[in-house]
Amino acid sequence: MYLNVDGLSKSFGDLEVLKDIDLSIEKGKVLSIIGPSGSGKTTLLRCLNALELPNKGKFTFHDDFKVDFSGKISKKEVLNLRRKSGMVFQSYNLFPHKTALENVTEGPVIVQKRNKEKEKKYALELLTKVGLQDKANLYPHQLSGGQQQRVGIARALAIEPELMLFDEPTSALDPELIGDVLSVIKDLASENWTMAVVTHELQFAEQVSDEVIFMDGGYIVEQGPPEEVLKAPKEERTQQFLQRILNPS
């Protein structure tokens, strides 16, 4: 098991967003997270990356790195946790004044203090992986939304994370651009990257996932293989959600 999460809870003031979440992600596997707006999906992902600090809960990686949020957490522990994962956001979050290549090298060179020339070469390899080798010297405003999101994926890969996190990576894209981004994520899945993906693309989740969890009201309502959760859900709330998504009228 790559990552175990036990008893994760997160509140914003009086609003309890995550309620005693337990989950596991196996190395080289893809976990998809589905559910209605406000169910806690994005907050869960941001807690895994320590962009939001849980109120309580324990994270265990490979049994050799543990963080217990029930007590006081050091800055070093937070940094170590963040270095283990690469985050791909809904809204790209690229630096507008930097080229695609510079966006990809920023983390390894500036934050991780790696060799600039070596990382530039690696960044070009990553841009080639996401189909943007000819866009390396363009700025974000010169790229389509789908291209910007693929730069975001390359940027997350550049820090060589152990876990890739995707927060609804296609939600801000025009329909005709969604396929290119999903194709890149499928390729990563075939390369056995460990990934957690918040998505509303149910067909994609069915194709790429090893496990799916359905969240509602801050809880994990149902979890299991995609053929069970998406095709034959046991819980009534999961059935209602899927019916509404698949038959919106």
Do residues 248 and 237 share a domain? Answer: yes
Do residues 124 and 73 share a domain? Answer: no
Is the confidence at residue 199, as pLDDT, over 90?
yes
Residue 186: give the domain boundaries.
1-84+164-249
CA angle, residues 245, 169, 51, in degrees to nearest 5: 115
pLDDT confidence bin for 174, thresholds 50/70/90: confident
Boundary (domain end) residue, out of 141, 161, 181:
161
Give the three-state DSSP class for 3: strand
Rounded percentage of the chain residues whose pLDDT exceeds 90: 70
Do residues 119 and 177 share a domain? Answer: no
CA neighbor of 49 nearest in space, from 134, 144, 161: 161
Segment 149-158 mean pLDDT = 94
Boundary (domain end) residue, out of 114, 133, 161:
161
Q: Which residues contact 146 (CB under 8 A, 6 or more apart)?
A: 173, 174, 177, 178, 180, 181
pLDDT score for 22:
95
Contact 51, 78 (CB under 8 A): no
Phi and psi at residue 54, to the nearest 5°: -60, 155
Q: CATH number of the domain that 187 lies in?
A: 3.40.50.300
Do residues 9 and 101 share a domain? Answer: no
2: left (phi over 0), alpha (psi -120 to 50) or beta: alpha
Segment 156-173 mean pLDDT = 90
Domain total of the chain: 2
Segment 70-91 mean pLDDT = 87
pLDDT confidence bin for 25, thresholds 50/70/90: very high
Contact 132, 113 (CB under 8 A): no
Do residues 152 and 37 share a domain? Answer: no
Do residues 25 and 125 share a domain? Answer: no
CA angle, residues 163, 165, 169, in degrees to nearest 5: 150
Do residues 243 and 122 share a domain? Answer: no
Do residues 45 and 110 share a domain? Answer: no
Contact 5, 56 (CB under 8 A): no
Is the confidence at residue 1, as pLDDT, over 90?
no
pLDDT score for 110:
75
Do the bridges between strand 85-88 and strand 163-167 make them parallel or antiparallel, or are there none, so unpaired?
parallel
Do residues 234 and 116 share a domain? Answer: no
Q: How many residues does the chain have?
A: 249
Q: Which residues contact 184 (CB under 8 A, 6 or more apart)?
A: 129, 130, 131, 150, 153
Boundary (domain end) residue, out of 132, 161, 190:
161
How far is Cα 118 from Cα 129, in angstroms, rounded to an integer?
17
pLDDT score for 79:
86
**Residue that has been written with the tokens 């990576």 in this structure:** 169
Do residues 26 and 101 share a domain? Answer: no
Segment 108-118 mean pLDDT = 79
Do residues 97 and 78 share a domain? Answer: no
Mean pLDDT of the chain, nearest integer: 91
Do residues 48 and 125 share a domain? Answer: no
